[in-house]
């Protein structure tokens, strides 16, 4: 009697666990939780009582864990575990019961979701199978319902006279077995689940209508002027602009060389950037972010325009750079944008006329005046639908600091195909310049000093082969160019025999593809120019082009330094009589003014 009483008192029944699992699930049941007493010499007994038959079975499991795999409804029931062992010298039993219910997951339902903005019309489709179609096309074989009861559409013919009292009409297409309904001037109360029930059938199609409120005003929170520069005396702003212009220039070169293979190329990265900076004054939200990313500018660089104005002041004596914006007379510009454009870029927006021919004349006359008539025709036509045209033109007229002995010497220029072309050249037996070879570029580089604290860099591949030229071009990137400019400034001045083809280039580049390839897709589709155009009017850039003219004159400023010196073969030579890349650099501002390549002079 004492023994039996001891076992009853030492028994511990832990609480029952109720568990619900989905069919085909797997589960592991621990017999005794961690917080239960530890027993020595434990044995485990698992039993199962079926919920269906109420019969009990002893399971062949002698472990603390019962693993149940891919459970079915027949596995529903009670799983009981009994652990028996010693707690000190006392024999003890612990038990735990799991009540498990295995449920079959519900079948999925599929329905179409249609989203519509309030006050718009919407069509809810109901395309049925051929077998359910009605022979009588005048009597739709479907009934439309929703949670509030049956929907009673009117005939389409009644739409005009009933559009105020009735807003639901049949919009059927019997030839397509589509028994749709149309809801006009949708309201928020129209939202919900609609059922298209097919007559004499159990088939039902579901359509959920989501009614969205009107979007917030397009320019909400985007109408403030460009933020003020608060660190005008900081040198960091100047450095940021310099580095971004260098990186931007090499990326533009990379994009343009790919789109214009085997042709001459000339562009002004600082001029293109300045025009886009001007556009940034009015860009907001994602449009601003895309432009900043393409221009390699840090986010929210508020001192951008202040720093660019300083750069324009530095380079104004040698580079004539102007930009202009022409906009439709139907558009209105924000006053703050006009004022800031004048303050930072000397660019006063001008209105287009309603006459396309007159607009062409207006734009080309502006270009001719700003480029000293070096560029007299930038465009041939203006799209009558154009709402906004951004133009940019630059003119550079640099002079050699040292005169060439010969300014009209004929030489043979070797092109990619090994074809030689007779060209006129600038020639000197003893010319002072800095030279160096850069393995990173796979190019010999010559730095020619020009007036106005400018320098002309010429990058020559080892041979005239197209392969060597393309390899050199491939290596033209921000890091390599930055290193080249830095190292060339430390090179000693050498005397060399120099031959250069006379350079005179004029190129016009359409920038839409270039900017799209650089990630500025919004600019031409749906840009946010809320800092430029007020209200909810949508505008997009319909034309953006860049025209550049580069001419290096034959005269030297320092004529006295250009004395006649006898020829000596002991000097180095620098002969640009094969395809090369050129870079015009302003040493004071430390930025590229022009980049290009000469394939066929």
Distances in whole angstroms, Cα of residue 161 to Cα of each of 152, 169, 172, 228: 16, 12, 19, 58
**Closest-CA residue to 218 (of 539, 542, 543):** 539
Confidence of residue 160 (pLDDT cuts 50, 70, 90): low
For residue 43, the tally of other CB atoms under 10 A from its CB is 11
Going by their DSSP bridges, the two strands 56-59 and 65-68 should be labelled as unpaired
216-243 mean pLDDT: 87
- CATH topology classification for 112-212: Immunoglobulin-like (2.60.40)
The H or E element containing residue 373 is none
- Determine the Cα angle at 575 with ends 570 and 578, to 5°: 150
Question: How are the residues of the chain apportioned to helix, strand and coil, as percentages rounded to the nearest 5?
Answer: 25, 35, 40
Sequence-distant (≥ 6) Cβ neighbours of residue 155 within 8 angstroms: 169, 170
Please say if the pLDDT value at position 560 is more than 50.
no
The answer to whether 318 and 565 have CB atoms below 8 angstroms apart is no
Q: Which CATH superfamily is domain 2-103 in?
A: Immunoglobulins (2.60.40.10)
Q: What are the helix and strand counts (H, E) for the chain?
A: 11, 30
Q: Burial code of 498-517, b = ≥16 C-beta within 10 A, e = fewer? A: bbbbbbebebebebeebbeb
Residue with tokens 């931007």: 248
The backbone region for 77, taken as left when phi is positive above 0, alpha when psi lies in -120 to 50, beta otherwise, is left
Q: Which two tokens stand for residue 73?
A: 């409804």
Sequence-distant (≥ 6) Cβ neighbours of residue 75 within 8 angstroms: 68, 100, 102
Going by their DSSP bridges, the two strands 591-598 and 27-30 should be labelled as unpaired
The H or E element containing residue 321 is strand 319-327
- Give pLDDT, residue 77: 94
- Determine the Cα angle at 589 with ends 583 and 595, to 5°: 15
The H or E element containing residue 207 is strand 204-212
Residue with tokens 């919900």: 192
Confidence of residue 7 (pLDDT cuts 50, 70, 90): very low
How far is Cα 517 from Cα 511, in angstroms, rounded to an integer?
A: 10
**Closest-CA residue to 548 (of 394, 399, 398, 396):** 394
- Give pLDDT, residue 162: 53
- Give pLDDT, residue 132: 56
- The percentage of residues in the chain with a pLDDT greater than 90, rounded to a whole number, is 33
Confidence of residue 505 (pLDDT cuts 50, 70, 90): confident
Q: Give helix 285-294 / helix 269-280 axis angle, nearest 10°.
A: 160
Sequence-distant (≥ 6) Cβ neighbours of residue 327 within 8 angstroms: 333, 349, 350, 351, 352, 387, 388, 389
Q: Which two tokens stand for residue 183?
A: 């809801």
Confidence of residue 15 (pLDDT cuts 50, 70, 90): low
Sequence-distant (≥ 6) Cβ neighbours of residue 334 within 8 angstroms: 223, 225, 282, 531, 532, 533, 534
Using DSSP's 3-state secondary structure scheme, residue 536 falls into: coil
Confidence of residue 140 (pLDDT cuts 50, 70, 90): confident
How far is Cα 25 from Cα 72, in angstroms, rounded to an integer?
A: 8
Sign of CA dihedral 56, 58, 64, 69: negative
Sequence-distant (≥ 6) Cβ neighbours of residue 351 within 8 angstroms: 326, 327, 328, 329
The H or E element containing residue 232 is none
More confident residue, 109 or 593: 593
Q: Which two tokens stand for residue 494?
A: 């050498």
pTM, two decimal places: 0.67
Q: What is the CA radius of gyration of the chain?
A: 40
- Give pLDDT, residue 137: 55
Within the chain, all domains assigned CATH 2.60.40.10 are found at 2-103, 112-212
How far is Cα 86 from Cα 165, in angstroms, rounded to an integer?
A: 84
261-285 mean pLDDT: 88
- Give pLDDT, residue 138: 63
Confidence of residue 555 (pLDDT cuts 50, 70, 90): very low
Listed in sequence order, the DSSP H helices in 295-330 are: 304-315
CATH dotted code for 399-503+554-598: 2.30.39.10
- CATH topology classification for 237-397+506-550: Antithrombin; Chain I, domain 2 (3.30.497)
- Give pLDDT, residue 62: 84
More confident residue, 14 or 37: 37
Going by their DSSP bridges, the two strands 350-351 and 319-327 should be labelled as parallel
Residue 131, classified by CB atoms within 10 Å of its CB into exposed (0-12), middle (13-18) or buried (19+), is: exposed
Within the chain, all domains assigned CATH 2.30.39.10 are found at 399-503+554-598
119-127 mean pLDDT: 91
Please say if the pLDDT value at position 60 is more than 90.
no
């Amino acid at each position: 009697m004492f023994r039996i009483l001891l076992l009853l008192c030492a028994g511990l029944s832990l609480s029952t666990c109720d568990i619900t699992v989905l069919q085909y699930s797997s589960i592991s049941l621990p017999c005794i939780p961690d917080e239960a007493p530890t027993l020595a010499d434990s044995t485990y007994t698992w039993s199962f009582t079926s919920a269906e038959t109420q019969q009990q079975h002893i399971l062949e499991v002698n472990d603390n864990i019962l693993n149940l795999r891919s459970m079915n409804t027949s596995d529903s029931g009670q799983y009981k575990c009994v652990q028996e062992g010693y707690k000190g010298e006392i024999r003890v039993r612990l038990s735990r019961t799991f009540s498990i219910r295995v449920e079959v997951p519900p079948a999925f339902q599929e329905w179409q979701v249609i989203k519509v903005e309030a006050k718009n019309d919407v069509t809810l489709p109901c395309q049925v199978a051929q077998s359910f179609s009605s022979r009588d096309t005048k009597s739709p074989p479907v009934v439309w319902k929703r949670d509030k009861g049956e929907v009673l559409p009117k005939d389409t013919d009644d739409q005009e006279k009933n559009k105020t009292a009735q807003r639901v009409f049949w919009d059927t297409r019997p030839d397509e077995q589509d028994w749709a309904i149309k809801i006009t001037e949708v309201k928020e109360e129209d939202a919900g689940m609609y059922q298209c029930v097919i007559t004499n059938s159990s088939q039902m199609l579901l359509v959920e209508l989501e009614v969205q409120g009107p979007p917030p005003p397009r320019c909400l929170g985007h109408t403030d002027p460009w933020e003020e520069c608060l660190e005008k005396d900081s040198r960091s702003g100047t450095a940021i602009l310099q580095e971004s212009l260098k990186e931007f220039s090499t990326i533009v070169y990379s994009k343009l060389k790919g789109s214009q293979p085997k042709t001459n190329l000339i562009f002004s990265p600082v001029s293109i950037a300045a025009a886009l900076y001007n556009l940034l004054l009015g860009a907001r939200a994602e449009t601003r972010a895309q432009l900043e990313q393409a221009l390699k500018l840090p986010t929210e660089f508020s001192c951008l325009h202040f720093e660019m104005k300083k750069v324009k002041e530095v380079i104004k004596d040698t580079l004539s750079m102007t930009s202009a914006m022409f906009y439709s007379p139907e558009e209105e510009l924000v006053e703050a944008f006009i004022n800031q454009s004048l303050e930072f870029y000397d660019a006063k927006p001008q209105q287009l006329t309603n006459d396309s021919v007159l607009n062409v004349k207006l734009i080309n006359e502006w270009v001719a005046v700003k480029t000293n008539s070096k560029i007299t025709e930038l465009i041939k036509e203006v799209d009558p639908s154009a709402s906004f045209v951004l133009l940019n033109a630059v003119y550079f007229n640099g002079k050699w600091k040292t005169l060439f002995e010969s300014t009209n010497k004929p030489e043979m220029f070797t092109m990619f195909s090994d074809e030689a072309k007779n060209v006129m050249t600038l020639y000197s037996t003893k010319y002072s310049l800095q030279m160096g070879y850069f393995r990173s570029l796979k190019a010999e580089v010559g730095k020619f000093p020009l007036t106005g604290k400018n320098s002309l860099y010429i990058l020559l591949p080892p041979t005239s082969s197209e392969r060597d030229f393309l390899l050199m071009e491939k290596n033209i990137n921000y890091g390599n160019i930055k290193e080249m400019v830095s190292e060339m400034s430390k090179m000693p001045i050498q005397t060399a025999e120099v031959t250069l083809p006379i350079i005179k280039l004029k190129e016009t580049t359409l920038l839409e593809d270039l900017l799209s390839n650089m990630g500025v897709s919004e600019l031409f589709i749906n840009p946010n120019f809320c800092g430029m155009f007020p209200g909810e009017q949508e505008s997009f850039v319909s034309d953006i082009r860049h025209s550049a003219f580069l001419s290096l004159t034959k005269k030297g400023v320092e004529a006295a330094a250009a004395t006649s010196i006898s020829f000596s073969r002991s000097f180095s030579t620098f002969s640009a009589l094969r395809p090369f890349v050129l870079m015009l650099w302003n040493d004071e501002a430390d930025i590229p003014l022009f980049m290009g390549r000469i394939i066929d002079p």
